[in-house]
Amino acid sequence: MLALEPVSRAAAPRTVVTTILIVCGDCAGDALFPLKTLLTSDGTCSRCGGRSYVLAAKLSGALVRHLRKGDAES
Ligand SMILES: [Zn+2]
């Protein structure tokens, strides 16, 4: 599932964009369904390089649970 290449070559570390979708805190926007971007192999947003993000799968799971409950539970 992970499409990571080894990045242990210290001399020339290459940033590889993975197939993992994230919701970036910096460029996702604040819509109900935020913009999803891709995670890079060094743990940053592929769009803006930000490090504040949550995994999209995690977020959508939480959203689904929230919608199924039908009421806000903060
Ligand atoms: Zn971003």
Centre of ligand 1 from the C-alpha of residue 68, in Å: 29
From residue 11, give the alpha-carbon distance in Å to each of 3, 7, 8, 14, 17: 22, 10, 9, 10, 19
Tell me how far apart the alpha carbons of residues 55 and 23 are, in angstroms, rounded to a whole number.
Answer: 6
Q: Which of 4-13, 23-32, 64-73 has the highest mean pLDDT?
A: 23-32
Centre of ligand 1 from the C-alpha of residue 40, in Å: 11
Residues with C-beta atoms within 5 A of ion ligand 1: 24, 26-27, 45, 47-48, 50
Percent residues over pLDDT 70 in the chain: 76
pLDDT category, 12, cuts 50, 70, 90? low
- Where in the chain are the domains? 17-69
- For the residues 20-34, what does the mean pLDDT come to? 87
Please give the backbone phi and psi of residue 60, each rounded to the nearest 5 degrees, phi first.
Answer: -65, -30
Q: Share the mean pLDDT of the chain.
A: 82
Name the token pair of 19: 């197939």
Tell me how far apart the alpha carbons of residues 30 and 24 are, in angstroms, rounded to a whole number.
Answer: 10
Q: Report pTM.
A: 0.64
Tell me how far apart the alpha carbons of residues 57 and 30 are, in angstroms, rounded to a whole number.
Answer: 17
